[in-house]
Structures are given as C-alpha cells and as structure tokens.
Structure 1
Amino acid sequence: MADLIKEFLVKTVEDIKLLAPKPYWAVNENSSSLKASDLLPEEGIFKIHLVRTEELVNNSYFREVDMTSLFLPENVNINNNHRIYRIIQHWINKEYLDPPKVHYNTFDKKIEFEDGRHRVKTSYLLGYELIPVAIYFEDVDAVGNLI
C-alpha cells in the first residue's frame, strides 16, 4: 500500500478530485451502506444534517489532524496518509462511507468529532461544499447555532 500512497503524494488536489469528483455518503437512500449501527435512525442517537464543510471546519476542534495539506510528508504522519488514501479509494470506487459523528463541547464551544475527522479533512481539502454529519440529538441546536 505504501507504493500506492506514494503515487498520490505527487498528485495535485485537482488531479485527485478528477479521480473522485464527489464523495459517497451512507445517508438517505444509501443508508443501507451504514457500517455503524448507532447511526441507524431507529437507534435514536444521531440526527443527520447536511452542513457546509467550511463552516464545520471553522467551528471544530481537530486535535492532532493537520488541516493544511491532504497528504503529509511520510516522516510526519504516515497514519494520516493511509486514512486519506483509503477514503479517496472508497470514493473512486463509489463506495459509501458513514457520515462523521460530532458532538458539541460546551466548555470550548466547539464541535468535536467522535469519528470522521479525516473524512471531513478530505472533503474540505478536495473542495466538497456540503457533507452530512451525524449530530447527537441533544447537541443538534448547539451545533446548528455554530454552523
């Protein structure tokens, strides 16, 4: 896989976007592709909302995820590159991914991720304007006020 990732390291964002012109999300009519059972509507834990990717990024805490570049130098964070590569491969193959799971941090007044930071990073840096996010029901209003 390392050789395949190296192939992507030399591509521009525009080249990658030509390979994966749109993201594929396991929502709405594609929700049968959900991997996380807690995202199923009957579980009543999350509400899926379509949000502006840039607003989500601007109001979220990404911890150690570097949001400045899609792929990072291999000596910096190889794990990042593996995750980004896998996400792009799924979308090239038209495979659906679960929406990121978020909650509202009342102390920092920021959105935090339970899962999906790299999916958001990839969407943002590839310029996808809108993405679905799974928001805990109790945080829908607070998150909605931010984005």
Structure 2
Amino acid sequence: MKIRNASAGKDNLEKQIAYYKGKSLSQLHTIVPRWAYGDNADKIRDRGISAEQERYIICLTDVGKLIQCVDFGEVERMLLFTGELLNDGRVARILHRWEQLQYIDPPTIYITEGIDHRLVFVDGRHRTKVAYLIGSLQIPVAVEPGDMEIMKTMMPLWAI
C-alpha cells in the first residue's frame, strides 16, 4: 500500500496556487471552462445529477445574474484568490482542470422552503465564481424540476 505524503501534496497545491495567482486577469480569461453538460454530460462525476437519475434538470443561466441572486455563504464571490488556503486551493484546482481540458460538473442549486424562496448552493460556489471572474457569460446549473418554475418567476435568467 502506498502512503501519500501530505506535505508533498500541500507543497504541490501551494505551487499551483502561486502559478495561477501569478497570471494576469487577461491570461486567466483565456482559460475556457469545460462543463460536464450537453454533449459532454457523460463526463459528469456526480451521478446524482446525471440524466439517468432524473432528479435534476441542467440548464444554462446568466452567471452574472446568478452571482447576484444566490447565497454564497462564507465564500467571497468577487475575489478569485483570498489568501485562504481552502479557497485558493479550490480555485487553483478548478483553473488547472480547465486548463488541462478536463470537464467539471455544473453547480447545483435549490430554493429554500418558506415565503422568502432564497436560492442556495448544494455545491459549486467556487466553480461559479471562478467561471464568472474569468469572463464566462453563461454556465450550466443543475436544479430540481420542481424548483424550475419558481426560479423562472424569481428572475429571468434561465435559458432552457
């Protein structure tokens, strides 16, 4: 059995973070997000959002409007790198995967119960902010079919 060296993994992650922090915004804008969606839906890693499960609909949305409307919790939505290892590591891994022509699952969101109907991430906050901050106009998002009708009335950002 091979034992993973945690220190080496952290060093590698820190190098990856430094590599992407060293790029200008115009250089980062050349990275094309690759989503496991549409013709590439077979590359979805989270089988819970795959079409076979019929639990989610994946549709394109205006990422700028999404950034304004969805609760990001503790994630700083307008800064790519914050100086926090957890955030910066996730951002660097996302950029690295896209730069290596790998596909990433779309973010998943839902609507909270009750009167206020807030949009909340199940997962994908960092993927969303990275796509937005490197210049994407639209991204695919997985939503439950029952939430789709409510979302359409909340904001006209869904392109189905």
TM normalised by structure 2 equals 0.84
Tell me by how many angstroms 1:44 deviates.
1.2
Contact kept? 1:99, 1:132, Cα under 8 Å: yes
Q: Alignment partner of 2:105: what SS?
A: coil
What root-mean-square deviation, in Å, do the aligned CA atoms of Structure 1 and Structure 2 show? 1.3
Q: State the partner residue of 1:119.
A: 127
Q: State the partner residue of 1:93.
A: 100
Q: Distance in 2 between matches of 1:8 and 1:24?
A: 17
Q: Which consecutive segments of 4 or more residues in structure 1 shift more than 2 A?
A: 106-110, 144-147
Tell me by how many angstroms 1:127 deviates.
1.3
Tell me by how many angstroms 1:94 deviates.
1.0
Q: State the partner residue of 2:4.
A: none
Aligned length: 142
The answer as to 2:28 corresponding to 1:16 is yes
TM normalised by structure 1 equals 0.90
Q: State the partner residue of 1:140.
A: 148
Tell me by how many angstroms 1:68 deviates.
2.0
Q: Distance in 2 between matches of 1:27 and 1:105?
A: 25
Deviation readout 1:87-141 (Å, 9 max, x if unpaired): 1011101111110011012444321110101000101111100000000111111
Tell me by how many angstroms 1:38 deviates.
1.1
Q: In structure 2, what residue type is equivalent to 1:17?
A: H
User: What are structure 1's unaligned runs of at least 5 residues?
Assistant: none
Identity percentage of aligned residues: 28
Whichever of the two has the greater Rg, that structure is: 2
